[in-house]
Amino acid sequence: MERNQQLRRQLASMRQSLFDQGHLDEQFILLEELQDDANPNFVEEVVTLHYRDSARLITTIERALEKSPLDFNKLDGYMHQFKGSSTSIGAKKVKAESTQFREYCEAGNGEGCMKTFQLLKRDYATLRRKLEAYFQQALPGA
C-alpha cells in the first residue's frame, strides 16, 4: 500500500513538473478529462498520434530548410500543421516556438527560422522523453 502511495506521489510529481517547467498547458488537462473507463488510454493514444504526425512534419521541415532559396510559404504551411497538432495536446513551449518560426517565415528571415527550429526540436524531444517516461510509469502494474 505504501509502495503504491509512493508511486502515485511520484507520478503526480512527474505530471506537475511538466506544467511547472512550461512544457504543458491546460489543453493537456482537457485531454485528461476526456479519459474515462470506456477510454482509459485516451491521452496516451492522442499523444501517440501527435508523435506520428509531428515526426513526419519535422522531417519535412528539415528537408525544406535545406533547400535554397527557402520557400517561406511552404515552411509556414508545414509549421501551421505542426503548431495545430502541438496545440491540441497542450505542448506549450513547442507551440510558442512554432509561432515564432511562423513570424520569421512572414519576415523572410531564414536564419531566424533555422535557429528557432533547432530550439523547437530540442523542446519537442524533451517533452516526448518526459511524456514517454510518465506514461510508462502510469501503466497499470508499472
Partner 1 sequence: MGGSMKAPEKEILGTKMNHRHRPKITALVVDDNMVVRAIHHRLLQDLGIENQVAVNGKEAVDVHSSGQYFDLILMDMDMPVMNGIEATRKLRAMGIRSTIAGISSRSLEREKQEFMEAGLDDYHEKPLTADKIVSILHKISNHSG
What is the contact surface with partner 1 in residues (CB under 8 A)? 26-27, 29-31, 33-34, 36, 39, 42, 45-46, 49-50, 52-53, 80-81, 83-85, 87-89
d(CA 16, CA 7): 14
d(CA 27, CA 46): 12
Cβ count near 82 (within 10 Å):
27
Helices (H), 21-109: 26-33, 42-66, 72-89, 92-107
**What is the chain's Cα-based Rg?**
17
Comparing CB distances to partner 1, the nearer of 88 and 116 is 88
Angle of CA points 107, 95, 40, to nearest 5°: 160
Q: How far is the CB of 29 from partner 1 (least distance, A)?
A: 8
Comparing CB distances to partner 1, the nearer of 57 and 113 is 57
- The length of the chain in residues reads 142
Q: How far is the CB of 49 from partner 1 (least distance, A)?
A: 5
Comparing CB distances to partner 1, the nearer of 19 and 110 is 19
Comparing CB distances to partner 1, the nearer of 44 and 123 is 44
Q: How far is the CB of 20 from partner 1 (least distance, A)?
A: 17
Q: How far is the CB of 99 from partner 1 (least distance, A)?
A: 10
